[in-house]
């Protein structure tokens, strides 16, 4: 429905293709996971920072967005995404639903990848591995800036 609307109003044309891109794989660290699935019917726990409730792919999706945010030079300003998020694939094979609370704070001179790598290994028993792999991407062929009239 959304694609049809965009095609009609903005004359959007696009296609999908497979490209070789840098990606990250979320895997279990050598010592094993330090997180456990939550039980059915459990309520959300309050926490500071990020609280993600879902399967490991949902957590991997959050990591993808977080890795695209540059740490600002001025701590009074928020970080902003610097481009499209790199794909993060769940390769943990951990079943179930998890509630992961992470209180991660920017540190001067440290990028988000380094911060997350430390938290993943020390607190969660996970790690990110960098690879090149085939990823399906959506390519915009053309679009008009001004929408067509209703």
Please enumerate, as own/partner, the contacts of 75-79 that have beta carbons within 8 Å and a separation of 24 or more. Answer: 75/106, 75/108, 79/106, 79/112
Is residue 104, in this structure, part of any structural domain at all? Answer: yes
Is residue 27, in this structure, part of any structural domain at all? Answer: yes
Count structural domains, the chain: 1
Is residue 150, in this structure, part of any structural domain at all? Answer: no
Please state, in angstroms and rounded to a whole number, the distance separating the CA atoms of residues 122 and 34. 9
pLDDT at 123: 92
pLDDT at 71: 65
| pLDDT tens across the length of the chain (150 residues) | 888 988 989 999 999 999 998 899 999 999 999 999 987 656 655 556 778 899 999 999 989 888 887 766 665 666 666 667 889 999 999 999 999 988 887 777 778 888 899 999 999 999 999 999 998 888 999 998 888 776
The range of the structural domain enclosing residue 128 comes to: 18-136
């Amino acid at each position: 429905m959304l694609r049809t609307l965009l095609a009609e109003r903005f004359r959007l044309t696009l296609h999908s293709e497979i490209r070789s891109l840098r990606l990250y794989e979320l895997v279990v660290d050598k010592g094993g996971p330090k997180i456990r699935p939550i039980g059915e019917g459990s309520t959300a726990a309050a926490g500071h920072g990020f609280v993600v409730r879902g399967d490991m792919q949902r957590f991997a999706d959050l990591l993808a967005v977080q890795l695209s945010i540059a740490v600002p030079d001025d701590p009074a300003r928020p970080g902003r995404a610097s481009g499209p998020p790199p794909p993060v694939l769940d390769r943990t094979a951990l079943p179930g639903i998890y509630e992961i609370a992470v209180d991660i704070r920017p540190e001067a001179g440290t990028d988000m990848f380094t911060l997350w790598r430390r938290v993943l290994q020390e607190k969660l028993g996970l790690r990110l591995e960098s690879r090149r792999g085939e990823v399906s991407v959506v390519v915009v062929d053309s679009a008009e800036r001004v929408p067509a009239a209703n």
